[in-house]
Amino acid sequence: MTVLPRAAVGRRTVLLAGLSAGAGAVAAALPSAASAADTFFQHGVASGDPLPGGILLWTRVTPTPESAPGSGAGPRVDVAWQVATDAGFGAVVQSGTVTTGPERDHTVKVDVTGLSPATTYWYRFGHHGNWSPAGRTMTAPAASDAVARLRAGVVSCANWEAGYFAAYRHLAERGDLNLVVHLGDYIYEYATGDFTAGGAVVRRTAPEHETLTLADYRIRHALYKTDPDLRALHASVPWIITWDDHEVANDMWSGGAENHTPGAEGDFAARVAASRQAYAEWMPVRLTADGNIYRRLRYGDLFELSMLDLRTYRSEQADGTDVDDPGRTITGASQMSWLTEGLVGSTAIWKIVGNPVMISRLDVAALPAWLLGPLGKLIGVPQNGLILNADQWDGYNADRERLVDTLRAHGTRDVVFLTGDIHTSWANELTTRDTGTTDPAAAEFVVPSVTSDNINDFLGTSAGGPLSVLAASLIRATNPHVRWVETDGHGFGVLEVTRSRCRMDWYHLADRTRKDSGARWVQGWSVGRGSSKIRRESAPAA
């Protein structure tokens, strides 16, 4: 049986023996980069979408001073790449050369094949003898492998101006992760000062205006990859990512967005095309030839992950009168068929869904105005007062019913939704009119934002104060399927999947506005195999 992530014998090694859980120890194990290489490789390295025999590798080069991100300038250059089984690159198993230039913003993506399953590799890029900092990555186990355990960091909603990415640092320092799942809002499109840390700009974004053009989105992606904690996490483990709305514009749907003004901000389709091109260039992700990002990846017989796109194909958000309309969709017909058929037909023990917005019902009808106001900013409650979670699955009830009805009709169990977007921490049981509260269809674990504002930030109160405690109590009182909610913390989740249970642990930062912020464990919840009822867990062993 393949055990993840403990070190194993031979090609099944998933973490290198002796690798400690500190970022300093990881950095010490990596080959050092000369100053020339630091100048050439300014945005780090990354890997993503691991397969049993392959991995996607990424970097960005700056061959000349005029080759700045978004400039459209600079020469075409050849970039070498190497993949090795050791940190010193004494055992290189794959290598090659690719050419990049201003037409793709000098980014480099290499889809490496011919690797061994469930194996740790080191990779780097080079130019004229100068090598980038090395990255560490891991291939997935073969589909038939019996895998004992997998551990993943889970993150969402990282707003540059609202703080530092200490959450990424803490995940990079762990040393026990097989991958990172990012559920969207990797970047934010706002102009400086438009979305802050409770009204304060912690660090100014670039460009300082709202991102609208291809150059704008390229510059914004580049800025994010100057963050050392983001670069460290990318270099330590492979990522599996999807987008939400802020990669284009707030509350995006297939034909527009709340934060897009036709005419004043140009054609929306052109804006989407620009943002998608920059995303494809700057992110370690495989997109289809048609530009689709929804896809499925598997880790042996243990874990199959379906990553959703809930922005590109959705109908416009409802105004409260048509949430049950079967003609409205959050997934689009093709993606819904792909999702339901994949979940029902999966032979993996756990069927995990990377779900950018919350699927569990949220009844806010009985909530007071002081709570509904800030909650509405997070979940899309219309300003006209209609009580509706318009931007999430609540606004597309027919799609949710279709999905749950299909799972129940086929007896499909062991489905877990991993969710971001709402900036807060939740442990939910997915119920509908037909399931009732005694037999949920699935479990849902919602991770907090890395930095983006949440309830206490909107209210201007202290984290964990009386109003926040009351808010959580009121939400749970009207939503019994919400087993736990915490409305203030910023941070990350750690998902552990074993053959008998799927568990999420939530960690919150002490202060998102500090580079050196500590983090603490706040809660753990799990679902056992064969049951969608979740239970509270004690703190994990140190």
Most confident of 22-36, 236-250, 370-384: 236-250
Residue 94 is predicted with a pLDDT of 98
Whether residues 151 and 80 share a domain: the answer is: no
Whether residues 91 and 163 share a domain: the answer is: no
Please say if the pLDDT value at position 16 is more than 70. no
Please say if the pLDDT value at position 458 is more than 60. yes
Q: Is residue 291 part of a domain?
A: yes
Separation between Cα atoms, residue 307 and residue 448, nearest integer Å? 18
Whether residues 327 and 436 share a domain: the answer is: yes
User: To the nearest whole number, what is the mean pLDDT of the chain?
Assistant: 90
- pLDDT per position as a tens digit, 486-534: 999 999 999 999 999 999 999 999 999 999 999 999 999 999 999 989 9
Q: Is residue 542 part of a domain?
A: no
Residue 33 is predicted with a pLDDT of 40
CA geometry: angle 205, 209, 215, nearest 5 deg:
90
**Exposed e or buried b per residue across 474-512, where buried means at least 16 C-beta atoms within 10 angstroms of its C-beta:** bbeeebebbbbbbbbbbbbbbbbbbeebbbbbbbbbeeb
- Where does residue 176 rank: exposed (0-12), middle (13-18), buried (19+ CB within 10 A)? middle
Residue 321: pLDDT band by 50, 70, 90 thresholds? low
Whether residues 164 and 52 share a domain: the answer is: no
Q: Which one of 87, 117, 140 terminates a domain?
A: 140
Give the count of domains, the chain: 2
Whether residues 157 and 115 share a domain: the answer is: no
Residue 439 is predicted with a pLDDT of 85
- Please state the rounded mean pLDDT for residues 118-125: 98
Whether residues 426 and 504 share a domain: the answer is: yes
Q: Is residue 51 part of a domain?
A: yes
Q: Which one of 140, 158, 181 terminates a domain?
A: 140
Look up the domain containing 73 and give its range. 1-140
Q: Is residue 382 part of a domain?
A: yes
Whether residues 228 and 123 share a domain: the answer is: no
Query: CATH code at 498?
Result: 3.60.21.70
Token reading at 209 = 């205006």
Q: Which residue has the higher pLDDT, 459 or 404?
A: 404
pTM over 0.75: yes
Q: Which residue has the higher pLDDT, 184 or 461?
A: 184
Whether residues 229 and 367 share a domain: the answer is: yes
What is the DSSP track for 280-330? Answer: HHHSS-PPPTT----EEEEETTTEEEEE---SSSPPPPP-SS-TT-TT--S
